[in-house]
Amino acid sequence: MGLYRRVLSGQIAPGQHAKFLAAVEEALDYQAQRGIAAQYAVWDSVTGPTTAVEIVSEFDALEELEQFEELVAQDQLFAELRGKVMQALIPGSATVNLYRRLV
């Protein structure tokens, strides 16, 4: 279990489930090729809005999370891949939260 967690939450737009999953897989592959050391999970809701999803990234060190954030800010291709993920979500539904493990 990582010490830091980044969670992107949102709702998949109608008819965009396959596009969302393909875009997430492509972005995760690209991250791994760039040396981003994290564990990832994609969750979808079984209660409440069934289109709700979370992409959970766990990092063992703050430096790894910072490396991810630098890739987001500086790599144009990565920005495009992440854009594909966001395009599959309902506009305005996405939020990002960062957490650190306390116990």
- Give the tens place of pLDDT for each residue, 30-71: 999 998 878 999 999 998 877 999 999 999 999 989 988 888
What is the model's pTM?
0.89
For 39, other C-beta atoms within 10 Å of its C-beta total 12
The kind and range of the H/E element at 85 are helix 76-87
CA distance 6 to 89: 18
Structural domains present in the chain: 4-100 (3.30.70.100)
**DSSP labels, 2-64:** -SEEEEEEEEBPTT-HHHHHHHHHHHHHHHHHTT---EEEEEE-SSS-TTEEEEEEEESSHHH
CA nearest 8: which of 31, 35, 63, 34?
Answer: 31
Q: Answer for the pair 95, 8: CB distance below 8 angstroms, yes or no.
A: yes
pLDDT, residue 72, reads 84
pLDDT, residue 102, reads 93
